[in-house]
Amino acid sequence: MIAGKLKAFGAFWYDFIIGDDWRVAVGVVLALAVTAAVSRANVSCWWIVPAAVALLLPGTVWRAARASRTRDTGSSS
Amino acid sequence: MTVWALFASVFLACAVEAVEATTIVLAAGTARDWRSALIGLSSAVVVLAVAVVALGPAIGALPIQALRLFVGGFLLVFGLQWLRKAILRAGGYKALHNEDEIFRKQLAAARAAATQSVGIVPDWYAFTLSFKGVLLEGLEVVFIVLTFGTNDGNVPVAGIAAGAAIILVASAGALLRAPLARVPENAMKFAVGTLLTSFGTFWGAEGAGAQWPGSDAALLAIIPLTALLAVGLVAALRFEHRRSSTLAARGPAERSEALR
């Protein structure tokens, strides 16, 4: 009973913060970590996060679209 | 960020959440019991106020660099999620959020449930439906107000923008006594996703130690470029969707010929 409630509580926060694609959250954390590391070397690093967005957004959209197509093909066959 | 840009960003984001919460409260009140639905709504507002009182000073106490990194990261993850859903809906890969349909489903489920009175609440089902709906959507409002407001050093303006959005949407819902189906919700989500992603990119990178060329003026390039990327993805999805629909309508021989 308590374990079930804890699980539901964890699932709610996971869904609220991470959402449908965990790779996006991991990608964002990695991009920020790389930016922080590069900035310590006094090298220009403002472009890292925009570049990560330019890769992460098409990636997550493409995966969702592919999953949707696979579902449609599976249900129609 | 100017006061008006802060106001517009928070207003737009909170209006989207308010449309969803209003639909749920209307369904609970119409199908079951208005008193219980309104007690649920008030209880959720009290819980949200406690969350603001507890979280607000904690977020405000963070040093600005750490705050921007933390808030920027969250906004970026949030914004990319919103944008992803809006792009998939606009591209035809996900059903549009239809408030009429959601309202009808909530009504049917609410009418089928049994009535149980608990304390001052005449109908527990209407109370929990309304409470949960307002609490979940309200949490996102709280998050947006605190992050945008604290980061820009102007929580009152962010709070006023959120309050104005909620009052406007709730009044429209109360007057119409119907879901706000005519609100272009996906277009609003698209705009909000673009703003959250752009501000998340800006604050996150700055918090991690990056220096933006042109300082705050960099946002004038980040926002349109993010929008352009999203619009490009919608166009690509629509093209792909049309192509696969055309191929599906053809016979297997024609399909393999077209794919060759």
Amino acid sitting at position B15: A
Chosen for mutation from A12, A30, A53 (greatest number of chain B CBs closer than 10 Å) is A53
Which pLDDT score is estimated for B182?
A: 62
Chosen for mutation from A61, A68, A75, A77 (greatest number of chain B CBs closer than 10 Å) is A61
DSSP helix/strand/coil, B121 = strand
Within a 10 A sphere around the Cβ of B250, how many other Cβ atoms?
12
Provide the token pair at B63.
Answer: 């040093």
**Cα separation of A66 and B43, whole Å?**
42
Mean pLDDT of A19-37: 93
Chain A residues with CB within 8 Å of chain B CB:
16-21, 24-25, 28-29, 31-33, 35-36, 39-40, 44-46, 48-50, 53-54, 56-58, 60-61, 64-65, 68-69, 76
**Cα separation of B135 and A31, whole Å?**
32
| Among candidates B73, B91, B237 on the partner chain, residue whose Cβ is nearest the Cβ of A28 | B73
Q: Which residues of B touch A50 (CB under 8 A)?
A: 201, 205, 222, 225
Q: Note whether B233 contacts A57, CB cutoff 8 Å.
A: yes
Does B216 reach chain A within 8 Å, measured CB to CB?
A: no
Which pLDDT score is estimated for A14?
A: 81
- Kindly list the domain boundaries of chain A, sorted by start residue: 20-76
Which pLDDT score is estimated for A72?
A: 65
Instruction: Assess contact for A49 and A34: CB atoms under 8 A.
Output: no
Indicate the helix (H) or strand (E) that contains B114.
Answer: none
DSSP helix/strand/coil, B118 = strand
Q: Which residues of A touch B201 (CB under 8 A)?
A: 49-50, 53
Question: DSSP secondary structure string, B87-108?
Answer: HHHHTTSS----HHHHHHHHHH
**What is the per-residue pLDDT across A39-51, written as a single tens digit (0 to 9) for each?**
998 889 999 999 9
Please enumerate in sequence order all residues whose Cβ is within 8 A of that of A54, keeping only pairs 6 or more positions apart, or say none: B229
| Among candidates A32, A56, A58 on the partner chain, residue whose Cβ is nearest the Cβ of B73 | A32
Amino acid sitting at position A16: F
Q: Which residues of A touch B244 (CB under 8 A)?
A: 69
- φ and ψ at B204, to 5 degrees? -60, -50
**Cα separation of B193 and B83, whole Å?**
5
Which pLDDT score is estimated for A74?
A: 59
Distance from CA of A30 to the nearest CA of B (A): 10
Our CA angle for B103, B107, B108, nearest 5°, is: 120
Nearest to B18 by CA among B213, B231, B210, B183: B183
Within a 10 A sphere around the Cβ of B42, how many other Cβ atoms?
13
**Cα separation of B91 and A63, whole Å?**
14
Does B66 reach chain A within 8 Å, measured CB to CB?
A: no
**Beta strand ranges found along chain B (DSSP E):** none
| Among candidates A20, A31, A54 on the partner chain, residue whose Cβ is nearest the Cβ of B229 | A54
Which pLDDT score is estimated for A56?
A: 96
Within a 10 A sphere around the Cβ of A13, how many other Cβ atoms?
9
Using pLDDT thresholds of 50, 70 and 90, give the confidence band for residue A75: low
Which pLDDT score is estimated for A32?
A: 96
Q: What is the mean pLDDT of chain A?
A: 86
Within a 10 A sphere around the Cβ of A8, how many other Cβ atoms?
9
CB pairs under 8 A between A and B: 107
Q: Which residues of chain B are under the pLDDT cut of 70?
A: 1, 95-100, 110-115, 177-183, 250-260
Chosen for mutation from A12, A16, A32 (greatest number of chain B CBs closer than 10 Å) is A32
- φ and ψ at B93, to 5 degrees? -100, 0
Instruction: Assess contact for A26 and B201: CB atoms under 8 A.
Output: no
Say if residue A77's pLDDT is above 50. no
Which pLDDT score is estimated for B159?
A: 87
**Cα separation of B209 and B64, whole Å?**
12
Mean pLDDT of A61-71: 84
Using pLDDT thresholds of 50, 70 and 90, give the confidence band for residue A36: very high
Provide the token pair at A17.
Answer: 């913060």
Does B233 reach chain A within 8 Å, measured CB to CB?
A: yes
**Cα separation of A48 and A32, whole Å?**
8
Distance from CA of A75 to the nearest CA of B (A): 13
Provide the token pair at A2.
Answer: 């308590």
Provide the token pair at A38.
Answer: 């590069």
Which pLDDT score is estimated for B226?
A: 95
Say if residue A31's pLDDT is above 90. yes
Instruction: Assess contact for B19 and B185: CB atoms under 8 A.
Output: yes
Q: Note whether A49 contacts B208, CB cutoff 8 Å.
A: yes
Instruction: Assess contact for B111 and B31: CB atoms under 8 A.
Output: yes
Which pLDDT score is estimated for B260?
A: 54
Write down the pTM of the prediction: 0.73
